[in-house]
Amino acid sequence: AMAAERALAVATCTAPVNIAVIKYWGKRDTDLILPINSSLSVTLHQDQLKTTTTAAASRDFTEDRLWLNGKEEDVGHPRVQACLREVRRLARKRRGGGEDTAALSLSYKIHIASENNFPTAAGLASSAAGYACLVSALARLYGVEEELSEVARRGSGSACRSMFGGFVQWQRGERPDGTDSLALQVAPETHWPELRILVLVVSGEKKPVGSTEGMQTSVETSPLLKHRAEVVVPERLAQMMRHIRERDFEGFGQLAMRDSNQFHATCLDTFPPIFYLTDLSRHIIALAHRYNAHHGHTKVAYTFDAGPNAVIFALADTVAEFVEVLRRSFPPATNGDQFVQGLPVGSAALSQELVAAVVTEPRPGAVQYILHTKPGPGPQLVDDPSQHLLGADGLP
């Protein structure tokens, strides 16, 4: 019977990026990754942005190993270890403490390979997708089906929100042990079919101040952040859930912009101050406001995370015109045909009035490319063995 045991147990999953419309910034417990406020996000479609992770276990492996985008990394990273430990703990609990002979031995070493189809630290929420994917693959490998958003949270706070598709709330929770700090789906990705997202990639650079370090400085020094967490966010969260439920783009868009602006105001209120928005980000913000003013209502809404890339929400019938506005405002340097990626975008003619009112000072080459996407589902299991990132030898 032992000989029949496969040398290698393997599982592969994909997981999505999410973009917060009510921002998470600040931990009340840095070990357990418990936030000072609840947050709300939109899960992006994996056809455009995803992490793929393969986890394999074998009695023949001599040590745990990890590869990110083909390069071996430190598997001893405390957050990777926290996820491994938690999933193994759940597996043990599920087996009632006894070693189930049919189940994968928890003492086997593990190999993990992970790949993004987008630049890693460019402010595209790669840690959220990465840890959600890691936890999904490990859970699959060990046969665990519990509440996994709590485990993903231990890798990266925002990762808990990538455990679901559509519109997702990360509840702050009250308990010191964090058992009630988890993600819940507010509405599935099918709920608002017309909603579209444009990611304006302005730079593939690493950000100046990492989120982990930045947010703790904010917690320690910003009185505005304390007010935001205690007073502003609870009310905004309820409003945002209502706008989503009612598919009210006007309300959704305005609130997303206000919350993004307040998050960046708390960064400025941090001491020393943190600057994630660049001159170009501010140019994009002004452009969005001019465009909306020209139309007399909110047709596009921006949100920026801890980095310079802009994320723009719009309804499908606005995309072609606004992409043309972006093309005129940031004429592509060289990649004219590759400037817009992802979902197809129709062509649009712009009136002279619109161009005069909205396209004020073009900045050639300032936006590297635009990714057109939409809300999508949570982590997916990959059944096709040819898609595994690790070979039969357990190596990439």
Q: What is the mean pLDDT of residues 283-287?
A: 97
What's the CA gap between 48 and 12, in Å, rounded?
A: 18
Contacts of residue 390, defined as CB under 8 A and 6 or more positions apart, other chains included, come to: 10, 54, 56, 111, 113, 396
Which strands make up the sheet holding 380-381, listed edge to edge? Answer: 71-73, 65-68, 109-116, 50-58, 9-16, 380-381
SS3 252: helix
With contact defined as beta carbons under 8 Å apart, do 352 and 328 qualify? no
Q: For the chain, what are the domain ranges?
A: 9-190+380-387, 195-373
Reduced to 3 states (helix: H, G, I; strand: E, B; else coil), residue 302 is strand
Average pLDDT, rounded, for the chain? 93
The predicted pLDDT at position 97 comes to 64
Higher-pLDDT residue of 336, 37: 37
Average confidence (pLDDT) over 123-136: 88
> What pLDDT score does 307 carry?
84
Structure confidence by residue, pLDDT tens digits, 220-271 = 999 999 999 999 999 999 999 999 999 999 999 999 999 999 999 999 999 9
For every residue of 308-323, which 3-state class applies, written as one string?
A: CCEEEEEEHHHHHHHH
* pLDDT higher than 50, residue 281: yes
* Cβ atoms of residues 210 and 122 within 8 Å: no
pTM of the model: 0.95
Q: What is the CATH number of domain 195-373?
A: 3.30.70.890
Q: What is the CA radius of gyration of the chain?
A: 22
Residue 122 has pLDDT above 60, yes or no: no
pLDDT at 350: 97
Read off the pLDDT of each residue in 109-118 and give the average, rounded to a whole number.
93
- pLDDT band, residue 343 (cuts 50/70/90): very high
CA–CA dist 382, 121 (Å, integer) = 25
Residue 53 forms beta bridges with which residues? 13, 114
Q: What is the mean pLDDT of residues 194-210?
A: 84
Residue 161 has pLDDT above 60, yes or no: yes
Closest CA to 222 of 182, 185, 266, 255: 266
Residue 336 confidence (pLDDT) above 80: no
Query: Binning pLDDT at 50, 70 and 90, where does residue 98 land?
Result: low
Angle at 336 between CA 331 and CA 337, to 5 degrees: 150
Q: State the Cα–Cα distance between residues 244 and 271, nearest whole angstrom.
A: 35
Per cent of the chain over pLDDT 70 is: 94
Gap between the Cα atoms of 45 and 376, Å rounded: 4
Residue 4: pLDDT band with limits 50, 70, 90: very low
In this structure, whether the domain defined by 9-190+380-387 belongs to CATH 3.40.50.410 is answered with no
Confidence at 103, pLDDT banded by 50, 70, 90: confident
Nearest to 256 by CA among 16, 18, 17, 23: 23
